[in-house]
Structure 1
């Protein structure tokens, strides 16, 4: 099979190569990949000890082709959403992937492979961010890096709960944020963006979500005394004015919230915006585009079988 791999831990170069088709072991399934998500993490999320060459990628969608022993939650031919996490068997950026049964969930009938491929990482991060923010109706939220895949979902989920949202993004993405439910948008490249936020929320917003690395400190400047900043990137910042700055919490069990989000996306109540759908041959181009950190929604790659 063809797959995109890291050849060694010392180099972050990703290459397309031919590999033997893997076989599922106990508690695993072999999935014929139809699409996979692309994220800033994909080049670097690999086990430090391999094995190499290591197939990159941690999310995708496909059809179950073969089952290992002890798997009873899916069957051959099932359409599934795939989630892996730096396992020795490799990731999702290939024509096939070996996935633990617990990393598979059913695709809704109304969802296509491209959308399903992009829901896992952004969706789980958005669900966990909303949980950590714990905002109630009428409270205010500033989202730093609001136009990316996570921000796109957070803005909609927060607005749907009656939270008032203002987001930062480049000027061309402002109308996009407003279409998602944000009340206002600011340009993080503008010197006066902090003043614009404070003019919108006198005294500061109740909470901020710092999605992009390095935005934890600047987000504090627009939060009210005693408010909170949740950092997706894990920024650790000195605090001021009684503001708490904490990373959002990864949870192995999202209590049905992830399933509810997938259903909302499948039924059109929440939009998972796909910035680009790339053919398999252009996967590196898609990755390099993500690495510019100037995104509008999610990028995914489809394999020829799904095109």
Structure 2
């Protein structure tokens, strides 16, 4: 099969080559990959026991080709989207992937194409976990999202609005209307030194909660949260809590699988949207990764494999 691989543990390169398709164990699925969600961590989020050349990637959508003997609930022909990370047999930047059945695997509704489906697992899972961690915010409460124009931010805006929360978000000025389309009441430019004042004008006393998506944004975001409020850092910034604000990283142990299945269904019915910045042919995967590394993509970058 064709795959983009890291050729050795000390290489910084990503190369397209022919490698053997993975053989599955009893607890795995063999998936024919149709589309891949591209993430900034794809080329270095690798298991310690990886065998090289190692296919990179952690997120995709495709069709189940084979089912391991001990797997229940899946069968050949199933359309699925999944996250499969740190697996010794390789990742998702390939024509086939071996996926543990206990990984995050969700069905792809018939009306949803694979390109859209591949854009949802990581961004949707992260947005849902971040919002779920703020479940103490009541209906009508307020939320600020730092980095609201990307795939995680736009999904978080929509999920929060569905809970009845009022939302403000930050991004560069040309993305403000984009965020308002998804339900943000107020949009601020993160490059404007006065943006915290604008948020406090919108919500005197500070917002009930905040989600800081990009690295390095959690500290300043903390300043617009009310005393006793809550902050979730997606990137895991180290922040010293103050004024009784509860600070945490996205709770990775939180199980939002059912909510992710529902989100997929809502996207297929056009009730919610996943934003796709650009779709690249599989052969142009390095250019897709370079685009993601700029951290300036509006939404998700996807590879079309087949």
2:123 alignment partner in structure 1? 122
- Counterpart CA distance in 1 for 2:108 and 2:95 is 19
In structure 2, the residue corresponding to 1:133 is in which secondary structure?
A: coil
- Counterpart CA distance in 2 for 1:115 and 1:288 is 20
Q: Contact (CA 8 Å) 1:265, 1:271: kept in 2 or not?
A: yes
1:110 alignment partner in structure 2? 111
1:255: how far off?
5.8
* Stretches of structure 2 lacking an aligned partner (at least 5 in a row): none
Residues 107-133 of structure 1: CA deviation (Å, up to 9, x unaligned):
111110001111110111011011011
> What is the count of residue pairs matched by the alignment?
304
TM normalised by structure 2 equals 0.95
- Counterpart CA distance in 1 for 2:56 and 2:254 is 21
- Counterpart CA distance in 2 for 1:12 and 1:213 is 22
1:283 alignment partner in structure 2? 285
1:194: how far off?
1.3
2:76 alignment partner in structure 1? 76
1:190 pairs, out of 180, 189, 192, with: 192
Counting only pairs closer than 5 Å after superposition, residues 10-49 of structure 1 correspond to structure 2 as 10-49=10-49
TM normalised by structure 1 equals 0.95
Residues 210-266 of structure 1: CA deviation (Å, up to 9, x unaligned):
111111101011111221211111112112222221112113632621211111111
Report the more deviating stretch, 28-37 or 2-11.
Answer: 2-11
Residues 178-227 of structure 1: CA deviation (Å, up to 9, x unaligned):
00000010010112111111111111111110111111101011111221
1:225 pairs, out of 224, 227, 236, with: 227
In structure 1, the residue corresponding to 2:117 is in which secondary structure?
A: helix
* Stretches of structure 1 lacking an aligned partner (at least 5 in a row): none
Aligned in 2, Cα 1:228/1:292: closer, same or farther, shift over 3 Å?
same
Aligned in 2, Cα 1:46/1:255: closer, same or farther, shift over 3 Å?
closer
Counting only pairs closer than 5 Å after superposition, residues 54-69 of structure 1 correspond to structure 2 as 54-69=54-69
Counting only pairs closer than 5 Å after superposition, residues 194-209 of structure 1 correspond to structure 2 as 194-209=196-211
1:72: how far off?
3.1
- Counterpart CA distance in 1 for 2:91 and 2:299 is 22
- Counterpart CA distance in 1 for 2:113 and 2:274 is 12
Report the more deviating stretch, 156-165 or 60-69.
Answer: 60-69
Aligned-residue Cα RMSD (Å) equals 1.4
Counting only pairs closer than 5 Å after superposition, residues 91-110 of structure 1 correspond to structure 2 as 91-103=91-103, 104-110=105-111
In structure 2, the residue corresponding to 1:75 is in which secondary structure?
A: coil
In structure 1, the residue corresponding to 2:130 is in which secondary structure?
A: helix
1:131 alignment partner in structure 2? 132
Residues 162-190 of structure 1: CA deviation (Å, up to 9, x unaligned):
11111000111100000000001001011
- Counterpart CA distance in 2 for 1:197 and 1:12 is 41
